Structure 1
Amino acid sequence: MPDASYSNDDALAARKLLLAGLAIAVVGAILFSAKAIVAKLIYRYQVDAVTLIAFRMLFSLPFFAVIAIWQARQSTPLTGREKIQIIVLGLLGYYLSSFLDFLGLQYISAGLERLILFLTPSFVLLLSVFLMKRKITMIEWSALTISYLGTVLVFVHDVRLGGDNVALGGMAVLISAISYAVYLLASGELVKRVGSLRLVAYAMCVSSVACIAQFFVLRPSSMLIQPVDVYWLSLVNAVFCTVLPVFLTMIAVQRIGAATASQAGMIGPVSTLFLGAMLLDEPITGIQLAGTALVLCGVYLLSRKKAA
């Protein structure tokens, strides 16, 4: 007869590991979502999207470069095709997506930005339907409908308050989300060969170089001279809203799996909504709460389906 104490100890240990993984995923989601808040604070200093993302990547690049070098030394060399794929993915998934995201944040609230970006899993699903001929189930259609209704609800609410600029900003963030969805879909096979840590480090290095090069092409070098607060906020944006969330999310996925980690990540839009109210004085209305709830329900249904 098995010792019940061992079974209880095993269950307790498993429970602790799950809770620790969930905590890591939640912290990563909140920090990653907070980049919208930090960006809004930086925009108060008359900094545009090109300059903002250049500072973000200038401070992020050393961290990702160190990891990329470390990974290169202990991994097999990349093939020519893999190098090209990583360059394309870095430009598409991080450079283009991030630039459009920060561009859109100039015109829309942090809460709406987070809701639109949270539709990324649904875009991945739709792209797989049209490009890979995957069949979509009724529960997935329901999840998509609920999510889009929530986003449209908040979008219409914000358009009434902010006018045409909200439509422009919303479109930029929407294209950003679609761009990142294409990146996720295209990186599926490559990440199996290269490894997630290595792929992220290499792709982020490519993105950083592109963002910094874009700055020097489009802006005079004198734009590098900014108030001290811009440097501090950019450092926070790089370390706490870019580098740290990337690795916290990876650790969480390794501990509790991608499906559970994605469910924990649903705290992101909620945290952005309340952080925006506390730090940016963005109002929280009943419509915003209702829209957020709908989006979270839709993403939850998708994540449950993925886990099934």
Structure 2
Amino acid sequence: MIAATPHPTPRQAFLGGLLLAIVGAVFFSAKAIVAKLMYRYHVDAVMVITLRMVFSFPMFAAVALWKARTQPPLGRGDGWRIVVLGLMGYYLSSFLDFLGLQYISAGLERLILFLTPSFVMLIAFFFFKRKFGWIEWAALLVSYFGTVLVLQHDLHVGGSDVILGSALVLGSAFSYSIYLISSGELVRRVGAVRLVAYAMCVSSVACVIQFFVLRAPADLLTQVAPVYQLSLFNAVFCTVLPVFLTMVAVARIGAPTAAQAGLVGPVSTLFMGAVLLDEPITALQLVGTALVLAGMWLLSRKKR
């Protein structure tokens, strides 16, 4: 008689979901490192985002076709909403992010993108009249103050280009926050996996159209081998894989906890930037790293 496989305890299931969320956050954060490595081969943001989406499109398209065949048709108007969200949340946000990375460090880029939840909070406060307690406002002020400190440090190193790059990445974070706060009802109707697959397909098409408008088609086929290798890594491990890892994690531990696990993203980018890009790690960044690691330790002790 074959022994039954024991079911995981609630704590084991929670820690498994937490691990998936952390791995997803690390891989997603690595896209900044990959982009900076690609820039060493004299490509620009248009080429980086186009190759990323060209390589990831078949995987998202496969999921989109599977969902289209196994689920009811989209409701009236949902198709156009997905197009708008795909253009806002993935195409515009990613393009501004990669543009900004041409001027600032990967560590600062990840720190600015980390402010996305605060933009969601501000949009909810000003446009949807949602109330927040003093803890939320204190957290917002502390995070903004920390960002200003790091930005001031980078200005001494990178000069005025840091302001331009930071503004572009800030636009990326704001664009993605609009996507997050606008997709809530649509996620409930369409489903998270289906929405992401459709929206990423929209983003891929937009990136390809942009490329053919701005660049010669031959440029897409005449890059050196490392550019294609990095792009493939970017598509598989920094785009498709973290999206689905995060979705599985959300299903297991909930969206708030999965979002807190994303705190490890800036930490991983900081150390990957130091190892792979020779970006310096300052005392200020180390203090922030210690705080994030402490938060992750407390999170791992949380009961489901």
**Uncovered stretches (5+) of structure 2, i.e. residues with no partner:** 1-5, 300-304
Matching residue of 1:66:
62
Identity level (%): 66
Aligned equivalents of 2:112, 2:223: Cα separation in 1: 30
**Residue 28 of structure 2 corresponds to residue 32 of structure 1:** yes
- Residue in structure 2 matched with residue 217 of structure 1 by the alignment: 213
Q: Provide the rounded CA distance (Å) in 2 between the counterparts of 1:97 and 1:201.
A: 16
2 CA distance for matches of 1:71 and 1:199? Answer: 10
Deviation at 1:262, TM superposition (A): 1.3
- 8 A contact 1:150–1:293 mirrored in 2: no
CA distance in 1, matches of 2:282, 2:178: 33
5 Å-filtered alignment, 1:1-308, equals 13-224=9-220, 225-291=222-288, 296=292
The RMSD of aligned alpha carbons is 1.8
Cα distance in 2, alignment partners of residues 73 and 276 from structure 1: 42
Tell me the TM-score normalized by structure 1. Answer: 0.91
Matched with 2:3 is none
Shift of 1:119: 0.5
Cα gap change, 1:293 to 1:89, in 2 (>3 Å):
farther
Tell me if the contact between 1:270 and 1:292 (Cα under 8 Å) persists in the aligned partners. yes
Q: Which amino acid aligns with 2:117?
A: P
Distance 1:20 1:213 in 2: 40
TM-aligned CA distance change 1:291 to 1:155, over 3 Å = farther
Structure 2 letter corresponding to 1:283: P
How far apart are 1:293 and its partner, in Å?
Answer: 5.8
1:292 CA drift (Å): 5.3
Alpha-carbon shift at residue 291 of structure 1 (Å) = 4.9
Deviations 1:10-47 (A, max 9, x none): 8x711211111111111000000000000000000000
Q: Distance in 2 between matches of 1:79 and 1:51?
A: 35
2:30 alignment partner AA: A
Q: Which runs of 5+ in 1 are unaligned?
A: 1-8, 304-308
Q: Greater shift after overlay, 213-222 or 56-65?
A: 213-222
Letter in 1 for 2:106: A
2:42 partner letter: Q
Secondary structure in 1 aligned to 2:219? helix
Classify 1:248/1:197 alpha carbon distance in 2 versus 1 (closer, same or farther; 3 Å).
same
Q: Distance in 2 between matches of 1:92 and 1:289?
A: 34
1-side partners of 2:242 and 2:99: how far apart? Answer: 21
Give the helix-richer structure, 1 or 2.
1
> Which segments of structure 1 move beyond 3 Å, counting only runs of 4 or more?
290-294
